Structure 1
Amino acid sequence: MIHINKVGELTGVTVRTLRYYDEIGLLKPASKTEGGHRLYTNDEIKKLQQVQFLKKIGFPLHEIKNMLASSEWDWADNLKRQLSFVIKEQENLKKIELSLREMIHGIAIEGEENWIAIQKIMQLSSKDKEIQQYYRESVFKDREMKLWEKVPNMTSDSSDSLEWIALIGQLKRYMKDGPKAPKVQSIIRRMNEKRLEEFEGEDEFIDKLWEMRMSTNQSEKLGLYPIDQEVLEFMAEAYAIFIAEKNNPQPD
């Protein structure tokens, strides 16, 4: 016979948990000492290992009790049902993960205005994703849809998307300095470098995307993060200055 304290040491299950399993009839000890301490045999320890395994793969205790007590339990059917449940939970957790990423990235763009970012993400997440996808496919050609996949995404953790998010956040913080400010022009320069890295030679697509981005209504239909109109207009003004200086460099 093995004392309850020793069982706890061997299995990692706390004494309190073992007592609870006894109370609910899930795992009864083989006997007790004169002092009332629970004693277990190897059979109970094997059953405890089964309980631990079934609990680990997500079965609730009341169901584990029925599974182990019945010789006619349909293991195949219940394992398939549990697998379906786990897959569904994974899908739900993935949705939560994407929402959290959107909020974190939204705060990175909005800076100290955390609540504004959260409101925008709530607004974005309330839209029907299937309708957004249908709209994209209606306005972009098949080839352009492949390019769309490269567009920075608020739910992505790719280094490319993260840098774009950081650049937009920085640009918003430096708006007070004006579009000609060195820091602003440095940000625009990096944005242009990134545009060329992913979309060089795809000016038609970029122009089309930018035109839609400048429209609040079309941006919403595409499922784009709602960047403030004044930020977009500032970006366009700063970019025009950048291109003008690039095409007509001032002599040293």
Structure 2
Amino acid sequence: MIHINKVREITGVTVRTLRYYDKIGLLQPASKTQGGHRLYTINEIKKLQQIQFFKKIGFSLNEIDNMLTNSDWDWSEGLKGQLSFVLKEQRRLKKIELSLKEIIHGIAIEGEDNWNAIKKIMQLSVKDKEIQQSYRESIFDEKEKKLLEKLPKMTSENSNSLEWIGLIGQLKRFMKDGPESHRVQNIIRRMEEKRLEDFEGEDEFLDKLWEIRKSPQQSEKLSFYPIDEDLLKFMDDAYAIYLDRLGKEEIK
């Protein structure tokens, strides 16, 4: 006979849990000591391992009890049903994961204004995805749709997206320095380098995209993260200064 405390050591299942299993009739001890301590045999240990396994793959205690005691239990249907549940849960958790990433990256852009980032993500989440997809289909041709896939995404963890998010966040943080400041111009320079890395020769597409981005209504229809109009104007001014300085350097 194996004492309940030893069972806890062997299996990692707490004494409290073992007592609960006994109470609901899921796993009863083989006997008890004179002092009332529960004693188990190898058979109960094996059953406990089965309970732990089925609990690990998501079955409820009631379902596990039926599985282990009901000879009519349909294992195939039961496992298929559990798999269906797990797949649905994965999809639900994936949506939560993407929402959390959007909020985290939104905060990286908004800086200290965390609530503003959350409000913007909430605003995006209630939009009809089918309408957004339809709008996208109506204004971009096939080549442009492929280019859209290269744009940074608020839900992505790839280095390209994270750098773009960081650059926009830095730009907002240094707006007080003015568009001509050294720090701002360094950010614009890096943005231009990244633009050339990913979209060299696609100026027509980028000009079209920038006009859409400057329109809150159109940006919303395409489910773009809402960037404040004052920041977009600041980027426009800073980029114009960057190009002007670049042109003067080339003349020299």
TM-score category of the 2 structures, normalised to the smaller one: over 0.9
Greater shift after overlay, 31-40 or 46-55? 31-40
Structure 2 residue 6 is the aligned partner of structure 1 residue 6? yes
Question: TM (normalized to structure 2)?
Answer: 0.97
Greater shift after overlay, 142-151 or 127-136? 127-136
Which residue in 1 is equivalent to 2:206? 206
Q: Distance in 2 between matches of 1:68 and 1:143?
A: 58
1:159-170 alignment, distance < 5 Å: 159-170=159-170
Which residue in 2 is equivalent to 1:196? 196
Which residue in 1 is equivalent to 2:147? 147
Structure 2 residue 219 is the aligned partner of structure 1 residue 222? no
Flag the 1:249–1:61 CA change in 2: closer, same or farther, 3 A: same
Q: Distance in 1 between matches of 2:14 and 2:154?
A: 43
Number of aligned positions between the proteins: 252
1:15-26 alignment, distance < 5 Å: 15-26=15-26
1:92-241 alignment, distance < 5 Å: 92-241=92-241
Secondary structure of the 1:39 match is strand
Q: Distance in 1 between matches of 2:216 and 2:251?
A: 40
Q: Distance in 2 between matches of 1:135 and 1:250?
A: 41
Unaligned runs of 5+ in 1: none
Identity between Structure 1 and Structure 2 (%): 71
Q: Which amino acid aligns with 1:169?
A: G
Q: Distance in 2 between matches of 1:65 and 1:130?
A: 44
Q: Which amino acid aligns with 1:149?
A: E
Secondary structure of the 1:248 match is helix
Report the Cα offset of residue 8 of structure 1.
Answer: 1.1
Greater than 3 Å deviation, 4+ residue runs: none
Secondary structure of the 2:39 match is strand
The Cα offsets for residues 38-69 of structure 1, whole Å up to 9 and x where unpaired, read as 11111111110100000000011111111111
Secondary structure of the 1:85 match is helix
RMSD between superposed Cα atoms in Å: 1.3
Report the Cα offset of residue 124 of structure 1.
Answer: 1.0
1:60-71 alignment, distance < 5 Å: 60-71=60-71
Secondary structure of the 1:116 match is helix
The Cα offsets for residues 97-134 of structure 1, whole Å up to 9 and x where unpaired, read as 11111111111111111111111111011112222122
Question: TM (normalized to structure 1)?
Answer: 0.97
Q: Distance in 1 between matches of 2:130 and 2:90?
A: 20
Unaligned runs of 5+ in 2: none
The Cα offsets for residues 195-238 of structure 1, whole Å up to 9 and x where unpaired, read as 11111111111111111001111000010000001110110111
